[in-house]
């Protein structure tokens, strides 16, 4: 189970160096991603399930994204054990394949889910403009520009929607783009007949770093739920109220009716 590629290394020193670097980086980052991703997405999924009666299409994307992240982070501890023990796999071939499969399923599911969330959020932002009955397209464009500028400066909900788009874009730039750019360069590098030792080490280290960044998208996704608009924040507020009310609830003592012959004291 090796994610650094099948590169032929002429020097044993190069191999030892990249193994030490890989084991340290993967074991450390995967441990942090496992903890943050598990509690972050677990809490979000719990809130969404507790408020599932408030159904919406956007909630479906959020639940699926949280489930994909949880499935991924649940397999990361296996990788941590693997890299802590310097490349010794104790869990059999099936779990090895499942762990790798879960990582890439999460990677591309996150891309598609976040793309869908961003698309529908953008549609929600521009939808009122489309209903404006303007005579010419030129006037409509001017109205759209004016509304965008006005709402950006004055509307907090709009800013939160823009904030979500910024977070999604940042998640793509930080998590996904470096990995896919490096993967393209890596595949091109594999076709080279001559592979100097220092180039091999740099290439393998870049694989380790970019794949770790790709896995870190599990930690960015809980931010998307907060910036997804008032819907999730409303659910979170409802969840908090129900939790507080259940903690502070004190059963009232039932009032007993006066027995026959007794009088109720009147003040």
- Could you identify the residue written with the tokens 């026959």? 260
Angle at which helices 230-248 and 57-84 cross, to 10°: 80
* Rounded mean pLDDT, 14-41: 84
For residue 228, pLDDT beyond 70: no
Q: In sequence order, which residues have a C-beta less than 8 Å from that of residue 57 and are 6 or more positions away?
A: 120
Q: Where are the domains of the chain?
A: 13-233
Q: Is 192 helix (H, G, I), strand (E, B) or coil?
A: coil
Q: Who's near 98: CB < 8 A, 6+ residues apart?
A: 75
234-256 pLDDT, tens digit each: 777 777 777 766 665 545 444 44
Distance CA 29, CA 218 (A): 12
Residue labelled with tokens 């793509």: 172
Tell me: the pLDDT tens digits for 140-194?
445 444 534 544 454 444 445 556 666 666 667 777 788 888 888 888 888 877 7
The fold adopted by the segment(s) 13-233 is Rhopdopsin 7-helix transmembrane proteins (1.20.1070)
pTM of this structure: 0.53
């Amino acid at each position: 189970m090796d994610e650094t590629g099948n590169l032929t290394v002429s020097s044993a020193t190069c191999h030892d160096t990249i193994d030490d670097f890989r084991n340290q980086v993967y074991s450390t980052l995967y441990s942090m991603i496992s903890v943050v991703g598990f509690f972050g997405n677990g809490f979000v999924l719990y809130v969404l399930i507790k408020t599932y009666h408030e159904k919406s299409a956007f909630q479906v994307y959020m639940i699926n994204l949280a489930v994909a992240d949880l499935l991924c982070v649940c397999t990361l501890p296996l990788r941590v054990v693997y890299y802590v023990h310097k490349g010794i796999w104790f869990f059999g071939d099936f779990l090895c394949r499942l762990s790798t499969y879960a990582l890439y399923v999460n990677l591309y599911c996150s891309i598609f889910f976040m793309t869908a969330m961003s698309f529908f959020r953008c549609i929600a932002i521009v939808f009122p403009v489309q209903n404006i009955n303007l005579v010419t397209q030129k006037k409509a464009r001017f109205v759209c520009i004016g509304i965008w500028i006005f709402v950006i400066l004055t509307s907090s909900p709009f800013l939160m929607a823009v904030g979500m788009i910024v977070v999604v874009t940042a998640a793509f730039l930080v998590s996904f783009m470096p990995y896919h750019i490096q993967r393209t360069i890596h595949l091109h590098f594999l076709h080279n007949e001559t592979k100097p030792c220092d180039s091999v080490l740099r290439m393998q280290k870049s694989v380790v770093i970019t794949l770790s960044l790709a896995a870190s998208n599990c930690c960015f996704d809980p931010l998307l739920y907060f910036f997804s608009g008032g819907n999730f924040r409303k659910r979170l507020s409802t969840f908090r109220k129900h939790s507080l009310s259940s903690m502070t609830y004190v059963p009232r003592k039932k009032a007993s009716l006066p027995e026959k012959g007794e009088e109720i004291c009147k003040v």
